[in-house]
Amino acid sequence: MSAISFVPRLRGSSSDRPTRAPLLRGLRSGCRAFTGEVVAAVPVLRRRSDRQERAAWRAPVHLTRRGRLLFIGLPVMVATAAVAVALVILIAPATVTASTDPVEGPGTEIVTVGSGDTLWEIALAADSERDTRIVVSDIVELNDLETQAVTTGQQLLVPAR
Domain range summary for the chain, segments of one domain joined by +? 108-159
For residue 6, pLDDT over 80 is answered with no
The CATH homologous superfamily to which domain 108-159 belongs is LysM domain (3.10.350.10)
For residue 96, pLDDT over 80 is answered with no
Mean predicted confidence (pLDDT) in 27-50 = 60
For residue 66, pLDDT over 80 is answered with yes
Q: For the residues of the chain, what is the DSSP string, one character each? A: --EEEE-PPP-S-SS-SPPPPPBPTTSPTT-BPPTT-EEEEPPPPPPPPHHHHHHHHTPPP---HHHHIIIIIHHHHHHHHHHHHHHHHHHS--------S----TTEEEEE--TT--HHHHHHHH-SSS-HHHHHHHHHHHHT-SSS---TT-EEEEE--
Q: What is the pTM of this model?
A: 0.36
Per-residue model confidence as pLDDT tens digits over 109-119: 888 999 988 99
